[in-house]
């Protein structure tokens, strides 16, 4: 039998209820204070993309006070851009609609209230209600000015050192060349000539490495001019293949370009930069071989972009290494074992050059069977 409620028990329940509410309020206040004081910028938005919480660090990073932004649209106030000042979006709609977490891999520049920029990394995580319905999103902003500055100094250091090394290396190259070429007037033994030629080759490799390092530091610091124009990439492929003929022949590799004699739509890119990408990918395809093979180059034209595929039958890349391939200085174990020479900078440079030109690069590979490098370029309108 349920106990009959007396006015007394009714009162107790109510007060307990009130007490519980007070407890929740206190807890909410506590959370609010904690969120407000976190050392990362924290911004909470509702499903309409309006700011409902803006903590102190977010104020410090952006230069806006919470009163100025709360209840306003996050996307209308906050803008981000790349190193090359290309406008990009926070893309909060993808998070609010699909409920997927978005994170930046690299830093990006946030436009502050005073018009200056600050390098940041951010993440946008959906807030789920009862584990399913999306109630909003929480955006965290991290000021990475210090890391950015250290990185800039490192690039500058590499750039200065590389510049300083280039001059003596060019001098050595010139002296060795003169000694090798003038051996009729100035007789040297075959053994001496052999040594000189080896010294010349080593010097050449150092020049290539220094040029790669200089390239990287220029690209990383954004000091590179990118001049996109409408071009036919097949022409670039043809000329790179022609240049590479002797190297390919020496490695027993036949290059088969399936579209080089055809007309493909123009792309909108910097020709010099894309030439470098093609050179790097083809020379890798020729370098990492296991014997007689064919390097096949294919194309797929899509409405907005063109996809190129460079497929080799070489040593392949272990699956565990495939993700790190585009990092600077990374070389897979099987490549080190078969090809002692290499800096591990080529693919990193390719990735950066393509990003500058609105393209992407990725790889599919099986050890012992071969690799296919894919890259895309935006079509010219």
Nearer to ligand ADP, 117 or 334 (CB): 334
Q: Would you call 239 exposed, middle or buried from its count of C-beta atoms within 10 A (0-12, 13-18, 19+)? A: middle
> Taking every pair of C-alpha atoms in the chain, what is the biggest distance, in angstroms?
122
The minimum distance between CB 363 and ligand ADP, in angstroms, equals: 8
Report the DSSP beta bridge partners of residue 46.
Answer: 136
Told to check if 312 binds ligand ADP by CB under 6 A, we report yes
Measured torsion, CA atoms of residues 196, 207, 326, 118, in degrees rounded to the nearest 10: 160
Least distance from ligand ADP to the Cβ atom of residue 109, Å:
27
- Residue 244 near residue 281 (C-beta atoms within 8 A): no
Q: If binding is defined by CB under 6 A, does position 251 make contact with ligand ADP?
A: no
Strand 293-301 to 253-257 pairing: parallel
Least distance between ligand ADP and beta carbon 314 (Å): 5
Spell out, one character per residue from 315 to 354, where the chain touches ligand ADP: x when CB under 6 A holds, - when not. xxx-------x----xxx--x------xxxxxxx------
Q: Which long-range contacts (CB under 8 A, 24 or more apart) does 103-109 make?
A: 107/144, 107/147, 107/148, 108/80, 108/81, 108/82, 109/80, 109/81, 109/82, 109/83
CB of 285 to ligand ADP, least distance (A): 5
d(CA 73, CA 230): 38
Q: Does 371 bind ligand ADP (CB under 6 A)?
A: yes
Residue nearest to ligand ADP (CB): 346
Q: Which is nearer to ligand ADP, 118 or 332 (CB)?
A: 332
Site residues for ligand ADP, 276-305, by CB under 6 A, read 280, 284-285, 288
Give 141 or 158: the residue with its C-beta nearer to ligand ADP.
Answer: 158
Least distance (Å) between residue 342 CB and ligand ADP: 3
> Is residue 359 near ligand ADP by the rule CB under 6 A?
no
Q: What residue ranges bind ligand ADP (CB under 6 A)?
A: 280, 284-285, 288, 312, 314-317, 325, 330-332, 335, 342-348, 371
């Amino acid at each position: 039998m349920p106990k009959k409620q007396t006015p007394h028990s009714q009162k107790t329940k109510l007060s307990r209820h009130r007490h519980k509410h007070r407890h929740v309020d206190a807890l909410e206040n506590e959370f609010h204070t904690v969120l407000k004081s976190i050392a990362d910028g924290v911004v909470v938005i509702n499903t309409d993309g309006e700011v409902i919480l803006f903590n102190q660090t977010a104020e410090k990073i952006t230069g806006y006070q919470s009163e100025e932004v709360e209840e306003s649209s996050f996307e209308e106030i906050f803008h981000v851009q790349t190193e090359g000042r290309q406008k990009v979006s926070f893309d909060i709609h993808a998070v609010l609609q699909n409920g997927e977490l978005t994170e930046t891999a690299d830093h990006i520049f946030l436009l502050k209230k005073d018009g200056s920029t600050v390098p940041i990394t951010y993440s946008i995580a959906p807030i789920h209600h009862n584990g399913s319905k999306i109630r909003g999103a929480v955006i965290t902003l991290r000021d990475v000015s210090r890391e950015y500055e250290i990185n800039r100094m490192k690039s500058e250091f590499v750039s200065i050192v590389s510049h300083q090394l280039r001059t003596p290396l060019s001098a050595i190259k010139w002296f060795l060349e003169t000694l090798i070429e003038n051996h009729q007037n100035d007789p040297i033994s075959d053994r001496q000539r052999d040594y000189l030629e080896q010294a010349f080759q080593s010097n050449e490799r150092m020049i290539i490495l220094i040029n790669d390092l200089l390239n990287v530091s220029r690209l990383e610091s954004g000091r590179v001019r990118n001049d996109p124009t409408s071009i036919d990439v097949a022409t670039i492929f043809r000329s790179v293949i022609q240049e590479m003929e002797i190297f390919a022949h020496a490695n027993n590799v036949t290059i088969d370009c399936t579209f080089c004699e055809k007309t493909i739509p123009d792309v909108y890119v910097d020709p010099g930069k894309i030439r470098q990408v093609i050179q790097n990918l083809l020379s890798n395809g020729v370098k990492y071989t296991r014997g007689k093979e064919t390097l096949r180059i294919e194309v797929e034209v899509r409405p907005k972009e063109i996809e190129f595929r460079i497929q080799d039958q070489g040593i392949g890349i272990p699956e565990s290494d495939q993700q790190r391939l585009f990092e600077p200085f990374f070389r897979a174990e099987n490549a080190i074992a078969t090809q002692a020479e290499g800096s591990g900078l080529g693919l990193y440079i390719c990735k950066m050059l393509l990003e500058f030109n609105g393209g992407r690069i990725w790889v599919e590979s099986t050890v012992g069977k071969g690799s296919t490098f894919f890259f895309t370029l935006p079509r010219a309108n």
